[in-house]
A and B are shown apart, each in its own frame.
Chain A
Amino acid sequence: MALTDDRPVLELTAGEDAERREPLGVFRRPTATTGWRSWLTSVDHKKIGIMYGATAMVFFAIGGLEALLIRTQLATPDGQVLSEQAYNQAFTMHGTTMVFLVIMPMLAAFANYLIPLMIGARDVAFPRLNALSYWIFLAGGLFLYSSFFLGGAPDNGWTSYAPLSNNLAYSPGMGQDFWTLGLQITGIASLASAVNLIVTVINMRAPGMTLMRMPIFVWMSLVAQFLLLFAIPVITVALFLLMFDRLFGANFFNVAEGADPLLWQHLFWIFGHPEVYILILPAFGIISEVIPAFARKPLFGYPFMVFSGVAIGFMGWGVWAHHMFASGLGPVSVAAFSLSTMFIAVPTGVKIFNWIATLWNGKLNFTVPMLFAVALVSQFVIGGLSGVTHSVAPHDTQQHDTYYIVAHFHYVLFGGSMFGIFAGVYFWWPKVFGRMLSETIGKAHFWLMFAGFNLTFGPMHILGLQGQPRRTATYAEGMGWDLMNQLATWGSYLIAASFLLWIFNVVKSRANPPAGADPWDARTLEWSISSPPPAHNFDIEPTVSQLDEWWHRKYGEDDHGVIVRRDDYEWMSVVGPEEGGTSAPPPESIHLPSPSYWPIVLALGLPLIAYGLLFTYWLSALGGLVLIASVYGWSLEPSVDPDAGHGHVEPDRVDDDDDPGTAADPVAAGTTEEPS
């Protein structure tokens, strides 16, 4: 009840004698829609999406630096670049950063920006909650990184296995506590975002946008959000247990008291394996939009793509224990999880074949997004197949915790998710910022990254089979690992160079000519409105009658059944006449939710509580007060500010509720309430 917003609503006429009461709360309602302040208070899903993306790119650079340190250390035997402690911190923070602070928020960026546009909605279901998710994510990320300055970063690996992580003798200092609490905080952000996006997709689709007419990206994001919804509480439980062990002396992982250390592994991987699909499914969705656009063909087997995604979502819950084959589960469990792990390759294979069938006989146009998308397909096949080798338990025992594993999951997460993310970034950049990115620099970026990636992680397969263990700070001379390690290190420098090219491309893009509404001649609704889209997304809510609605408005068949572009297609929204549209009516009656301070204030309370747990309890108390005050400030604040310049609303609703509908209703306004 407290944390709810309404979808954007209609204007209501003013009462003649409207005497406006001041809303309760500490702050005046912010009104700025431009300038830096507007970013702090914005509840626009597009701005929040951009903030997610920008923040994740910064964390990508930081996580990349950590990777460079690791690779520099391993370039030669007996490397002396990092101390062992620093090495442990580098690989722990690298993994944690890339999973929780780069790929997840990157995909949240796409979901936030695109889902409302693709389903024809004005905003997400709960705009303020959406802003809160972003600020909590940022708070969690900054909290995690503040550990470097406040007593040492986490150094137990991104899986933080107990009893290494829970025992204060094995991992002294506060690094592990920073990890535990930081992930709790970002977990809240993911959960809130999952609830928000699920409700948005299920409830706020434009008329005619049935589930089977939704763009495939929306589908894959929806599955990923459901996975988040059910996976996050499991890791929350694990993190709470670990926190209670470390901070308050509980015994959940205390082996001396008879505790079972496998409990951590089970909880972690019941979360962790679905998490893998959380990281890859939206990337699958992205390239399933990119490939049809540049193959000039509809996505082959759309229903199969949907159902295979949903199947992956379900099956992702049945395979977690393949991460634990080496822990002595017993032959029955190992056989069962071997089998389920092999089965999950089936729906993934369906997707691969559907992409290939989409490319088949297409009029392929190898733009930068297309290059990244095709690279994803090929690299994911390698990563997926090396994954299937792990489902064979004897193989797994051999490869366990070697560089083969590192090669495998980088092929999936970097060669898969990150390449998909870059495909999406290049594809939707003109939509988001109104300017094209340079194709030339983009191609240089792609080829450098592609070469660097394969040079870095290809040799790791061999290193792993030769027995080089992961997470070990150095290796002795004469193991036969020198050459492959050197190659991998050079590869990582190439990736770093490609990242610099990408930044150069972004900086330079500001001077590029405007992109226009539909530069790729693409298929989904977001391309029917101007670039960048107006705050209210659509002047007129679109009505959908088929899959790829926008494409079918642009193209029809001539008398001979040949696909031709219609001359008379209708742009849906504010595309001006010079872009082929008719100018739509001005949107002054569309009432968007007002900006709010409360999300950022509320998000501030969480790191305060966490710092308090580590340093002094009065900080926690302060954080708790901030939290409670902002929850109440939030719930007393109407979601649409009557003073925002869009006309008036009935005065009664100012302190009544978020709901404009009840305002004009005499019953709702309290006039028929029993006297009390």
Chain B
Amino acid sequence: MSTTEQSTMVVPPGGHEPHAEHAGGGHHTSTGLSNEKMAMWTFLGSECLLFGGLISTFLLYRGKEVVSGPEVRELYDIPFTSVSSFILLMSSLTMVLALSAIQRGNHRQLRTWLLTTALLGSTFVAGQVYEFTAFYREGLGFTTNIQSSAFYVLTGFHGAHVTIGIVMLLSLFVMSHRGSLPTGRSETVEIVGLYWHFVDIVWIIIFTVIYLVP
């Protein structure tokens, strides 16, 4: 970062502080990766196992005969879900554009893309709510059979993750509006982006595994 900040550093008496040169965008760390970013990567690693467990549960019950109510796969509206999946995937693109905007110092564009991303995410969640309602009308409630429980919990968990992501995006938007998301802190946007892309990738897996694979 700039030399300005170095000139204002007080070097502690009697010792070197290795972070001094690197304070700013990222602190000096053993790996060069900032703590925050590594924490997000680590957390996402554990999220893989969370979704892994839920997807496995769904797969286990998908092939089993249900005792009551319809099977989940009879109700799929693949074209509809494809469109909403496409919308979610596009939100990864706009997220990248948001990150690129703040890295270039273009804060108006940053806010535009953050808002667009949040909007696309919301559209996806709205589509999911519509899908749930439609399924429910067809007689597939949460408690109807083993498949319905597994389906609603898996997609519901994913929807909750998207919703949390939307809240984070809107928080970034507000921060940027207040002027507390300066160009030097583009990493915050990047870390939220990591989360957002992860949620999107998980959806690709869920969509493929539960909707597309026969």
Contact = CB atoms under 8 A, between A and B. Distances in A.
B189 to A, nearest CB: 9
A257 interface: yes
Contact of B1 (A196, A257, A665): A665
Contact of B31 (A203, A257, A539): A203
Interface string B142-173: 11011011100100000000000000100110
Interface in B177-194: 177-180, 182-185, 188, 191-192
B29 A665 contact: no
B214 interface: no
A482 interface: no
Interface string B1-39: 110110011111111111110011101011101011011
B39 to A, nearest CB: 5
B182 A251 contact: no
Interface in A634-676: 635, 650, 655-657, 659-670, 672-674, 676
A163 B70 CA distance: 24
Contact of A1 (B107, B148, B188): B188
B56 to A, nearest CB: 8
Contacts of A57: none
A205 B30 CA distance: 6
Given A7-B27, A199-B39, A230-B46, A589 B18 contact: no
A200 to B, nearest CB: 8
B17 A10 contact: yes
Given A195-B39, A195-B42, A236-B50, A252 B183 contact: no
B80 interface: no
A260 B46 contact: no
- A interface secondary structure, majority: loop
B67 A666 contact: no
Contact of B4 (A7, A587, A665, A674): A665
Interface string B46-68: 11111011100100110011111
A256 B67 contact: yes
Contacts of A586: 13
A167 to B, nearest CB: 14
A662 B14 contact: no
B50 A237 contact: yes
Contacts of B64: 258, 260
Interface stretch (A140-148, A241-249, A453-461, A526-534): A241-249
Contact of A4 (B15, B31, B35): B35
A587 to B, nearest CB: 8
Contacts of A240: 153
Contacts of B60: 260, 263
B45 A664 contact: no
A585 B11 CA distance: 13
Nearest to B3: A665
Contacts of B139: none
Given A125-B35, A240-B153, A256-B67, A207 B18 contact: yes
Contacts of B10: 10-13, 589
A249 B23 contact: no
Contacts of A660: 23
B110 to A, nearest CB: 9
B46 A191 contact: yes
A233 B46 contact: yes
Interface in A216-248: 229-234, 236-238, 240-241, 244-245, 248
B133 interface: no
B191 A676 contact: no
Interface of B: 1-2, 4-5, 8-20, 23-25, 27, 29-31, 33, 35-36, 38-39, 42-43, 45-50, 52-54, 57, 60-61, 64-68, 105-108, 111, 142-143, 145-146, 148-150, 153, 168, 171-172, 177-180, 182-185, 188, 191-192
User: 10 tightest CB-CB pairs across the interface, nearest first?
Assistant: A237-B53, A668-B184, A661-B23, A585-B14, A661-B24, A233-B50, A250-B149, A540-B15, A589-B12, A203-B29
Interface of A: 1-2, 4, 6-7, 9-13, 125-126, 191, 194-196, 198-199, 202-205, 207, 209, 229-234, 236-238, 240-241, 244-245, 248-252, 254, 256-260, 263, 267, 539-541, 584-587, 589-590, 635, 650, 655-657, 659-670, 672-674, 676
12 contacts: A1-B188, A9-B23, A10-B17, A194-B46, A236-B53, A258-B67, A589-B12, A590-B12, A650-B8, A661-B184, A663-B5, A664-B4
